[in-house]
Amino acid sequence: MQKFDLIEPTSLDEALGILGKEDTRVIGGGTALIVLVKNGLLRPRYLVSLRKLPELGTSKPRGTGMSFGACTHLRDIERSNKVRERLPLVSAAVEHIGNVRVRSAATVGGTICEADYQSDFAVALLALGGRVRVRGLQGERLISIDEFYVGPYTTALDTGELVTELEIDAAPQGASSAYLKCVTGPVTDRPCVAVAAVVGLDAAGACVHSRLVVGGVDGFSSRPLRVTAAEQLAIGAKITSQTIAAMSEIACRQADPASDLKASAQYKKEMTKVFCRRALEQALGGNRGG
Ligand SMILES: Cc1cc2nc3c(=O)[nH]c(=O)nc-3n(C[C@H](O)[C@H](O)[C@H](O)COP(=O)(O)OP(=O)(O)OC[C@H]3O[C@@H](n4cnc5c(N)ncnc54)[C@H](O)[C@@H]3O)c2cc1C
């Protein structure tokens, strides 16, 4: 493995100054980055760790949702009752990531910046919405989750910028959600297909809020597929078995996955239909119109 220097700045300004140097990368938990370095796919000279910046390690309620410092570990999210109460979809998705060792090391910043096309976290994020707080030498900016994932292993971060915080919005009050993951290997694997469904009904049982997001089915893009045509079909209607079947069919038609070692593209399309149906049924629980 190529040698690198690990630098642990004690202020954000110091970190940003170092990040300006050539061949420098931020390191979170290192669970993704070190594999790339070991395999010679990345050859950084300096790795900048943010773990001595206490302000990046805190999470707190924000509005009805939560904000997480970039160094928050996934294991802390998984174990937090506050997150389970406010963002049950995020808790459910995080529990599916790898194993306890991975979740204990992996950070929020690293998880979103890795931008792998098979990510549990990104699917839940797209279904809820929120903002990524970013700092660079030019100052701070907020990027909406919708705009953060821009392509295969690519985010909207500019050179020299790092993520300091992630703000996640809660689903509207009364809405319920489900997160389901299809794996073709060990349960600790990344998802072959992953689905997040969020549904809110009014007192008469008509749908007033609907989100359907599928991960791993948009080529190798880091951006999960938001199935807006299916969401719109549900709005204003009572959601019946026929509505669920039609929504799942739309998701299947829109899915354009790549074949990889996990499964063929055709299998992923079929699983998109199956897992959308199951996720919508689970989110609705007993609240269906027949
Ligand atoms: C055995 C194993 C099983 C796994 N299973 C799953 C799974 O089931 N589901 C799933 O979704 N994922 C899975 N993963 C992937 C895992 O979720 C990621 O490796 C992890 O979330 C990355 O977080 P990290 O903090 O370790 O990132 P790092 O490896 O430290 O960094 C990843 C990338 O983000 C950049 N980065 C880190 N922090 C910042 C920051 N604050 N600002 C800007 N850039 C930053 C780094 O430079 C690097 O490019 C698995 C990984 C392993 C090793």
pLDDT digits (tens, 9 = 90+) for 193-222: 999 999 999 999 999 999 999 999 999 998
Joined tokens for residue 261 = 């070692």
Whether the predicted pLDDT of 62 surpasses 80: yes
| pLDDT for residue 92 is more than 60 | yes
DSSP 3-state of 20: coil
The response to whether residue 262 sits with its C-beta less than 6 Å from ligand 1 reads no
User: Does 110 contact ligand 1 (Cβ within 6 A)?
Assistant: yes
Is residue 27 in contact with ligand 1, taking CB distance under 6 Å? Answer: yes
Long-range contact list for 92-101, CB < 8 A, 24+ apart? 92/124, 92/177, 92/178, 92/179, 93/120, 93/121, 93/123, 93/124, 93/179, 93/194, 93/196, 94/120, 94/121, 94/124, 96/120, 96/179, 96/181, 96/191, 96/194, 97/121, 98/31, 98/188, 99/188, 100/75
Checking if the pLDDT of 290 tops 60, the result is no
pLDDT of amino acid 289: 53
Average pLDDT over residues 265-288: 92
User: pLDDT digit string (tens) for 220-261?
Assistant: 998 999 999 999 999 999 999 999 999 999 999 999 999 999
Say yes or no: CB of residue 29 within 6 Å of ligand 1: yes
Whole-number Å distance, alpha carbon 274 to ligand 1 midpoint, is: 28
**Domains of the chain listed by start with CATH number:** 5-49 (3.30.43.10), 54-168 (3.30.465.10), 176-284 (3.30.390.50)
At position 158, the amino acid (one-letter code) is D
Residue owning the nearest CA to atom 21 of ligand 1: 111
Flag whether pLDDT at 22 surpasses 90: no
